Structure 1
Amino acid sequence: MSSLSLVAQRRGSTTSRVTKAVQLGKSTFGQTLFNAIAVLLGIGMLSEPLAFAYAGWIGGMVLMIFYGFITCYTAKILAHFILDDVKLRSYSDIGRKAFGSRASPLISVLFCLELFTVGVALITLFGDSLHSVLPLFSSDTYKLLGLTIIVPTALMPLSLLSYASVIGLISTLFLIAVMFIDGLSKRESPGSLWSPAPTSLDPGNMGELGLAFGLLMAGFSGHAVIPSLARDMVDPSQFDIMINWAFAIASLIYTTIGVTGYLMFGNSVSDEFSQDLMRVPGYNPILNRIAMWGLVLVPISKFALATRPLNVTIEIILGIDTGGQLPDDHGAPLKDSPALDAVAEKSRRLLALKHIFTIIERALVTTLAVIVSIVIPEFDSVMAFLGSFSAFIICVIGPLLAKVSLVGRLGFWDVLLLLIAIAMATWGTGAAFWSAA
């Protein structure tokens, strides 16, 4: 590298080219595309039909296209920031550079709140799905019983949880297939694609429209992972094309689910369309039971992965983070050095004590998620809050404000998108709290 290039690098004029030259990732275009789609496709899809019921056909389609566009645009903003500075590695790094070190606690709180809300939604899904398959106990009872299953998963290593997440993805795709099979196999309404249920063109009321904002936005809340995906690409110059495909595919899948579920169950669709598959008679009971059992596995496979960053953050704050070490990681005692043996033994005891506190902390976080799920049992309210508050701030408002700070200016469309996002976030968050009250 020439001296002129080094000078230019210091001035920041060719940082992007330098970064691409010295920081090559390991993921191909196809691998990154798959990972991006996997991040975007979450449990938010279960509420897409309800979002269409709240917003109506016109509002639902307009919002879906609009949210897909703005979140794809802000994802590119984050990616360009991360690729233009070799020192940046994560969303938090971008926030720290844009707003200073004082913004780090606020960003951490927002991330933790988002992750905890996802955990609450997963607990709600677990209880509701298990109650649909085995109505022997109430949904709340199953949530409490679920502690004995979910708490151990929170203590498992990530290597095992990664394999378990595949089960959740397969279960999700199978549920979508079952929805189409049910809709095409039934000739009469409700629950039929041949004879659609009553629907509406316009929103029911302003409160329901606000809920639709959050429910639809929740499906696009994957921006916390976007910087990592961009950094890990073999050819980062292909990121914009890749992310266009990822958001286009995710938007198409979400729209298909929303439209299909709304046609089948109309304005009376449940907050989780999977519940309607079990309630409406005329479907293949065996097929639907298999699908629901698969849906029961989704929270079991995803809860620990979703809350792991939250747990690690709490453990670091409390000073009990072990960094993945086991109590016996310090090796055998040194026979010729009693002093070193004593130090090693003390370290092992301290590490063992940290592991005990880690188990207690993760059990308490899971228990708190269960309590909140019992207090606020409405799946749509939880997802609406996740979308209206967390997703809007992290996926739209945050990246645009970072652009103001780092670039020094915003275009007309940037300002317009920022104002719309703030208005929708405020409106949707208020509606979510009102519906949960």
Structure 2
Amino acid sequence: MDTHSEEAVESQKHPSQPQEPGKGTTFLRTCFNGLNALSGVGMLSIPYALSQGGWLSLIILFLVAILCCYTGLLLRRCMDAKPLIKTFPDIGELAFGGKGRAMISTFMYLELFLVAVEFLILEGDNLNKLFPNTSFHIAGQKIGGKRSFVLLTALIILPTTWLRSLGLLAYVSAGGVLASLLLVASVFWAGAVDGVGFHEKGMLLNWRGIPTAISLFTFCYCGHAVFPTLCNSMKDRSQFPKVLLVCFVLSTISYGSMAVLGYLMYGENLMSQVTLNLPTRNFSSKIAIYTTLINPITKYAIVVSPIATAIEDTFPFQNSRLFSFVIRTVLVISTVFVALAIPFFGYVMAFTGAFLSITVSILFPCFCYLKIKKNSISLGLELMLIMAIIVMGFLVAVMVLCIGQDFDFFYFVQQWPGSYCDTKQSCCYPTTGKPATDFGIHGLWPNYNDGSYPSDCDPNSPYNQSKISDLISRLQKSWPTLACPSGTGSSFWSHEWVKHGTCSESILTQHGYFKSTLDLKDKLNLLQILQSAGIEPDGGFYSLNSITTAIKQAIGYTPGIECNVDESGNSQLYQIYICVDKSGSKIIQCPVLPSGRCASQIEFPSF
């Protein structure tokens, strides 16, 4: 063992010395904190993970739980090597010296910080969907949309971060655990009582979706960054292995139950968050949706606690209550700034999952344990198991990177040519002549549930017109170009494929992408739908609500309406967004609708 590393740990000041008898967090409260750390936003995505891998992927869920529980035990054994080890960075220093401390500190605190940022972004997204027109003024500045809810969430969360005692924080964690149980119960009620039913059979095994399933399963159990803090807070640290066992068993039961319920209810039609599938009109669905708003609020404080403690411990007056308030308040403010600067939940989740959580929860515990215990580990079963976990950790990280460009649904976008042409930019008819008086295809766009989208995903997959030669006549009719100068349409189709189509290659080939889009156009005659409701392209003005209602009554789902402005400043019907599942064939409820910038009365210009 590195003597220098031992001395470095011994010589450090640790205000959190081993708990005195009668002080510290009880077994039950530590269990609440541990369960709250494990049962996170993964509860929403676990049914989708099962739908990707099939029923047999439940075995993978249980294996991942066992392996992550084992790496948690490895951290506990590393802490036993020296009584003064209190934190994850201490373990890194004992194993690899100052460089080990620096690396683990960087990964761990960055992971926890970004998880806290994720919670704020998630709350902002969800609340903005429920209350889309909310805004308020601060110092004469109007703050609305997601930004207003991020700030509101931060104000609600702030007092929970002032609780330095994990014993007191356990009461907040108990609320988080209760919210997770209520979420499972609400989903069960929706299936058993509210008419959704459990009729889907699902697939036994889907090899193609296994990487996605493994990645999501692993992310559900990445709570290791807070484990040393929980262990050090206990009255009796020797009971921490039992805490880990209780937390992993109960969280696995919750995850497994939610996965099975969701898959039986919606099968292959599951979206990335099960609450997006639930019928919003039902009371149980509303309970489930509102419960998802509680979870991030209850988990934020336990996530940032190690960061706040580490900052406080670097100053000589760390026991000052006022100083603690200031540090923790500044920490919350910093996460707010980052949440507002990086508004898309998907980007943060992908980076956190691939580069940080898996490294902190799987790879670092194994590396540190092998180094610290190198003189006592024989070439036996334990060494083989640890090496296998390391290999699995690297593979999962690669899998997450590989699926990082995946998406949740398509926007099928049609545009009205009259509105395109009735602007200052004007338009040019294609070389084949003036298009028919009908909505034309703009594109089929992969999207994420948070409103962000992938683009230009595969530079090695250029547009090749020979692959769609049998579709050219249909493309010229239904997907015409109106850009100047006049063209055949091939440059327009090439642009759509390169920017959007390449991001759906895991599901649709180039031919399949264009054919699916054309088939959707044939299925959705938007002009006929509007005309049947008395809405004609005659230059008249119609209410935005009447247009939305007419389409919703025809297809069963609310469309997105986008407007542009003509030379006179009138708001006019420009594009209509219909949401489609990842297969590119089934119309679904939109997880998020685009901001259409429409007036209450909009013009439907002639063409």
TM over 0.5: yes
Contact 1:149-1:300 within 8 A present in 2 as well: no
Structure 1 residue runs of 5 or longer lacking an equivalent are 1-9, 11-20, 328-350
What letter is aligned with 2:33? N
* Cα deviation digits, residues 331-357 of structure 1 (max 9, x gap): xxxxxxxxxxxxxxxxxxxx9xx95x9
Return the offset for 1:323.
6.2
Return the offset for 1:247.
1.4
* Superposed counterparts of 1:218-367, under 5 Å: 218-279=219-280, 284-285=282-283, 287-307=284-304, 309-310=306-307, 324-326=320-322, 362-367=332-337
What letter is aligned with 1:159? L
> CA 1:422 to 1:95, structure 2 compared with 1: closer, same or farther past 3 Å?
same
Match for residue 179 of structure 1?
187
Given the alignment of the two structures, is residue 46 of structure 1 paired with residue 44 of structure 2, yes or no?
yes
Contact 1:154-1:308 within 8 A present in 2 as well: no
> CA 1:86 to 1:401, structure 2 compared with 1: closer, same or farther past 3 Å?
same
Contact 2:176-2:295 within 8 A present in 1 as well: yes
* Superposed counterparts of 1:8-407, under 5 Å: 26-58=24-56, 60-136=57-133, 142-153=145-156, 155-156=158-159, 158-159=162-163, 162=169, 164-187=172-195, 191-193=196-198, 195-196=199-200, 199-203=202-206, 205=208, 208-279=209-280, 284-285=282-283, 287-307=284-304, 309-310=306-307, 324-326=320-322, 362-372=332-342, 374=343, 376-378=344-346, 382-383=348-349, 385-407=351-373
Contact 1:49-1:273 within 8 A present in 2 as well: yes
Return the offset for 1:180.
0.8
Return the offset for 1:361.
6.3
The structure whose Rg is larger is 2
Return the offset for 1:254.
0.9
Match for residue 342 of structure 1?
none
Aligned partners of 1:93 and 1:48: how far apart in 2? 33
> CA 1:177 to 1:77, structure 2 compared with 1: closer, same or farther past 3 Å?
same
Aligned residue pairs, count: 374
Match for residue 575 of structure 2?
none
* Cα deviation digits, residues 1-56 of structure 1 (max 9, x gap): xxxxxxxxx9xxxxxxxxxx997674454444343323221221111011112222
Given the alignment of the two structures, is residue 425 of structure 1 paired with residue 397 of structure 2, yes or no?
yes
Given the alignment of the two structures, is residue 412 of structure 1 paired with residue 375 of structure 2, yes or no?
no
Contact 1:158-1:305 within 8 A present in 2 as well: no
Aligned partners of 1:128 and 1:275: how far apart in 2? 13
Contact 2:32-2:173 within 8 A present in 1 as well: no
What letter is aligned with 1:134? F
> CA 1:245 to 1:302, structure 2 compared with 1: closer, same or farther past 3 Å?
closer
Contact 2:39-2:220 within 8 A present in 1 as well: yes
Return the offset for 1:125.
2.8
> CA 1:323 to 1:152, structure 2 compared with 1: closer, same or farther past 3 Å?
farther
What letter is aligned with 1:215? L
Contact 2:27-2:234 within 8 A present in 1 as well: yes
* Cα deviation digits, residues 64-87 of structure 1 (max 9, x gap): 111111111111111122123211
Higher relative contact order (CA 8 A, sep 6+): 1
Aligned partners of 1:103 and 1:403: how far apart in 2? 13
Aligned partners of 1:247 and 1:143: how far apart in 2? 34
Aligned partners of 1:177 and 1:37: how far apart in 2? 17
Return the offset for 1:176.
1.6
Secondary structure of 1:326 counterpart = helix
Aligned partners of 1:171 and 1:290: how far apart in 2? 10
> CA 1:407 to 1:167, structure 2 compared with 1: closer, same or farther past 3 Å?
closer
Aligned partners of 1:243 and 1:359: how far apart in 2? 30
Match for residue 337 of structure 1?
none
Contact 2:133-2:144 within 8 A present in 1 as well: no
What letter is aligned with 1:299? P
Match for residue 13 of structure 1?
none
> CA 1:171 to 1:326, structure 2 compared with 1: closer, same or farther past 3 Å?
same
More helix by share: 1
* TM-score normalised per structure 1: 0.73
More strand by share: 2
Return the offset for 1:172.
2.8
Aligned partners of 1:360 and 1:94: how far apart in 2? 27
Aligned partners of 2:179 and 2:369: how far apart in 1? 39
Contact 1:211-1:432 within 8 A present in 2 as well: no
Aligned partners of 1:233 and 1:308: how far apart in 2? 15
Contact 1:312-1:321 within 8 A present in 2 as well: no
Aligned partners of 1:396 and 1:363: how far apart in 2? 30
Contact 2:128-2:149 within 8 A present in 1 as well: no
Contact 2:224-2:360 within 8 A present in 1 as well: yes
Aligned partners of 1:326 and 1:217: how far apart in 2? 39
Contact 1:213-1:388 within 8 A present in 2 as well: no
CA RMSD between the two structures: 3.7
> CA 1:134 to 1:149, structure 2 compared with 1: closer, same or farther past 3 Å?
closer
Structure 2 residue runs of 5 or longer lacking an equivalent are 1-6, 8-17, 136-142, 408-452, 455-607
> CA 1:300 to 1:30, structure 2 compared with 1: closer, same or farther past 3 Å?
closer
Secondary structure of 1:57 counterpart = coil
Aligned partners of 2:31 and 2:95: how far apart in 1? 28
